[in-house]
Amino acid sequence: MTAGVGQRMTNHKVEIVVPENILVNWQEILNIISNIASVPAAVIMRLRDDDIEVFVSSQSAGNPYHLGDSEHFLGSGLYCEHVIRTQKKLLVPDAPADENWKNNPDAKRNMISYLGFPLLLPNKTAFGTICALDNKRNEYSETLEKLLQHFKILIEKNLEMIYVNAVLGDKNKQLTDYLMELQALRGIVPICANCKSIRDKEDNWHPIEH
């Protein structure tokens, strides 16, 4: 699978467009994970409205996850649903031997072991997950776990930049107007250069919002 161009997501009315160059980097990350761990699948999942879907997937032999594959999120029983709900790492070495996981949808795809971490936006809401899956029992090494943690941090840094840019994109004009008004006010009323408080006739300082 090849990462799509300018993929979008919506979270709390903030539309985030993941640029192509970042998608390419994420694709390379998943390919590295799949190669190092010798597993058929490494995936970045994302929440989209009421669904959870495959956002990027490793280009590896035997990978059953394809771009856009989706499930209804709530009650899906997916490994990733648990990770997003708890916002914690999940390790399932052998789903068929685990009463909690033997009937989950991923196991039906013969992905019987799982290691995944949550991906969060700066406002601490969930973007999705980064995970590795295998078609055989796998305890996953400490080295691989640390690698996934480092990639999680890197991807969340990318998301932070994208999220902030998306938020500021709607407010740039308002911010510019505010700064222009502030400059004009400085010629009329005393404004503190540091805290931007305004001094009244009794020499009392007030926050500019007031």
Residues 97 and 191 in one domain: no
DSSP H helices, 15-141, are 20-37, 79-86, 105-108
Instruction: Decide if 181 is inside a domain.
Output: yes
Residues 63 and 150 in one domain: yes
Residues 40 and 123 in one domain: yes
Residue 105: give its domain's CATH number. 3.30.450.40
Instruction: Decide if 2 is inside a domain.
Output: no
Which pLDDT value is given to residue 165?
Answer: 80
Instruction: Decide if 136 is inside a domain.
Output: yes
Q: Is the pLDDT of residue 6 over 50?
A: no
> Among candidates 67, 49, 46, which has minimal Cα distance to 58?
67
Q: Is the pLDDT of residue 9 over 80?
A: no
Which pLDDT value is given to residue 157?
Answer: 93
Which pLDDT value is given to residue 12?
Answer: 46
Which amino acid does the sequence have at 3?
A
Residues 53 and 146 in one domain: yes
34-69 pLDDT per residue, tens:
999 999 999 999 998 899 999 999 999 999 999 999
More confident residue, 139 or 175: 139
DSSP H helices, 71-141, are 79-86, 105-108
Instruction: Decide if 188 is inside a domain.
Output: yes
Q: What is the mean pLDDT of the chain?
A: 85
Question: Helix or strand or coil: residue 163?
Answer: helix
Residue 25's Cβ-count burial label (10 Å; 0-12, 13-18, 19+) is: middle
**Domains identified in the chain, total number:** 2
Question: Residue 44 and residue 155: Cα distance in Å, rounded?
Answer: 10
Instruction: Decide if 32 is inside a domain.
Output: yes
Residues 149 and 187 in one domain: no
C-alpha neighbours within 13 Å on the C-beta side of residue 148: 29
| Overall average pLDDT of the 109-126 stretch | 94
CB 130 within 8 A of CB 151: yes
Instruction: Decide if 84 is inside a domain.
Output: yes
Residues 105 and 196 in one domain: no
Which pLDDT value is given to residue 191?
Answer: 66
Instruction: Decide if 20 is inside a domain.
Output: yes
| Overall average pLDDT of the 132-145 stretch | 96
Domain boundaries, position 194:
172-206
> What is the model's pTM?
0.75
The helix (run of H) or strand (run of E) holding residue 89 is none
| Percent of the chain clearing pLDDT 70 (strictly above) | 79
Residues 33 and 72 in one domain: yes
Residues 184 and 151 in one domain: no
| Overall average pLDDT of the 73-86 stretch | 95
Residues 129 and 183 in one domain: no
177-208 pLDDT per residue, tens:
655 666 665 566 676 766 667 777 778 887 75
Residues 48 and 77 in one domain: yes
- 176: Cα separation from own chain's centroid: 29
Which pLDDT value is given to residue 194?
Answer: 66
148-188 pLDDT per residue, tens:
999 999 999 999 988 888 777 765 555 556 556 666 655 66
Residues 161 and 190 in one domain: no
